[in-house]
Structure 1
Amino acid sequence: MTLIFAHRGYSALYPENTMLAFKEAEKAGAEGIELDVQLSKDGEVVVIHDETVDRTTNGKGYVKDLTYAELKRLNAGFRMKMNLKKEPIPSLREVLKWLTGNSLICNIELKNSIFPYQGMEEKVIELIREYRLTERIIISSFNHYSIVNCYRRAPEIETAPLMGQVVYMPWIYAESIRAKGIHPKYKTLKDEVVKKSEESGVAVRPYTVNKEKDMVHFIKLGCSGLITDDPVRALRVRKQIDKETKY
């Protein structure tokens, strides 16, 4: 079965990378969530996508230049007009603590391609182990050096490199860096790559699949997972395909 991962939570309807978006993804029936992490000025692992807070909050500046207390004061939900309540930027600790009360899989993307965030891998791994969630976490990044570093430090935690461009025989590449999955940009993903990777035991979870026709295509191809802004649409499509397959 193709598992549905809510990209930055249920971000089609709720403020991305907030506890509200994660909780709504769980309520919708998604099997997993995807989120992004960076480090605050004082070294807290925080959940936010951009290197600056400008787009997603009512603040300005780089995440790395703001303390955790300063980041917490910002409203990450102010751009969603239907969202009247303040939504703070969560810490990874907060999200992992919440995950202990459900069965969701969590894909943690390390945002360390622009700023290297010294020690981020260790901090993330330490938190995952503290909450005993090693079996339910996938660590991904566009920084593949970081992916290898994570595997070396914690071989029990699954890793999956993010791929924005076409990679030749990515299932071989994944095996060479000990990754159990690949997360390619859906527009670059060829059918043969899905089949060969999945046959080789390498999970394929394309991002960010939001159109119904693309969802149908990748679910029918047998991808291990789909990363989407709209888990409700993806779940409806998967249910319809299941129904058609049975008859």
Structure 2
Amino acid sequence: MTLIFAHRGSAGTRPENTMEAFFEAEKAGADGIELDIQLSKDGELVVIHDETVNRTTEGKGYVKDLTFAQLRSLDVIDRFETGKPLSIPALEEVFEWLAQNQLLCNIELKTAKVDYPLIEEKAVSLIRAYHLEERVIFSSFNHYSIIQCYRLAPEVEIAPLYSEVMFMPWVYAKSIRAKAIHPRLLTTAEWIIRAAMNHGVAVRPYTVNKAKDMRRLFKIGCTAIITDFPEMAVQERKAEREKASGQ
């Protein structure tokens, strides 16, 4: 069965990378969540996508230049008008919640533009503290970062993120000890997905937001999809399974 990962939580219906977005993903029936981590000025692992807080909060500045207390005090912009107080979560807050369910968690290390010293070590330490080794996947566009994660914790899965066409990505994945690839959907043909899976490498394309693409990937048995709309994906997966079983 193709698994469904909620991209930055249910980012299509709730403010991204907030606890509210993660709660909604669980409610929708997603199998896992995807989130992004960076380090605050005082070394706290925080969940936010951009290197600055400008787009998603009422504040200004780089994440790396703000303490956790300063980041926490910022109001997250609520374009969905949920009416709930929203803040930037600490990764530990997410882990405390994950300890109460069985969801998987794809952690994207935002290390391609900003150098965050020891971010991999901090993340691995927290994963082990919460015994989440079997439920976490590390991904990043900075492949040195996930290789460092593998060196620190070979028991935690790693998966390179990439946005362009890659020649025989399953060969590359195996060369860095990755069990999966996370390619951009628009640059990944079905035959590449099939070939990678046939070579024992899982494929989780991003960002799959159109129903027709969801159905196509469910039909070929793609390992997983990463989507902003987990509720839609769950419904489409159910419909495709019913269709395949002749109901």
- Secondary structure in 1 aligned to 2:154? coil
Alignment of 1:1-247 (within 5 A): 1-76=1-76, 78-247=77-246
- Worse-superposed segment, 190-199 or 176-185: 190-199
Letter in 2 for 1:141: S
Letter in 1 for 2:11: S
State the distance in 2 between where 1:130 and 1:75 align: 29
Q: Deviations over 1:172-191 (max 9, x none)?
A: 10000000100000000111
State the distance in 2 between where 1:46 and 1:172 align: 33
Residue 86 of structure 1: how far off its partner (Å): 1.7
Q: Deviations over 1:159-204 (max 9, x none)?
A: 0000111110000100000001000000001111111111111110
- Secondary structure in 1 aligned to 2:74? coil
State the distance in 2 between where 1:130 and 1:138 align: 16
Structure 1: which 5+ residue stretches go unaligned?
none
State the distance in 1 between where 2:63 and 2:81 align: 26
Residue 81 of structure 1: how far off its partner (Å): 4.5
Number of aligned residue pairs: 246
The answer to whether the 8 A contact 1:194-1:222 is kept is no
Letter in 2 for 1:109: E
State the distance in 1 between where 2:18 and 2:82 align: 12
The answer to whether the 8 A contact 1:10-1:21 is kept is yes
Structure 2: which 5+ residue stretches go unaligned?
none
Residue 6 of structure 1: how far off its partner (Å): 0.3
- Secondary structure in 2 aligned to 1:90? coil
Task: Call closer, same or farther: CA 1:57–1:193 in 2, change over 3 Å.
Answer: same
Letter in 2 for 1:50: D
State the distance in 1 between where 2:13 and 2:129 align: 32
State the distance in 1 between where 2:87 and 2:129 align: 23
Letter in 1 for 2:49: H
TM-score, normalisation: structure 2:
0.98
Q: Deviations over 1:64-121 (max 9, x none)?
A: 0000000000112x33242222201000011011101000000000000000201000
Task: Call closer, same or farther: CA 1:201–1:54 in 2, change over 3 Å.
Answer: same
- Worse-superposed segment, 165-174 or 216-225: 216-225
What RMSD in Å do the two structures reach over aligned CA positions? 0.7
State the distance in 2 between where 1:27 and 1:84 align: 18
State the distance in 2 between where 1:234 and 1:153 align: 34
Letter in 1 for 2:210: K
- Secondary structure in 2 aligned to 1:243? helix
Letter in 1 for 2:160: P
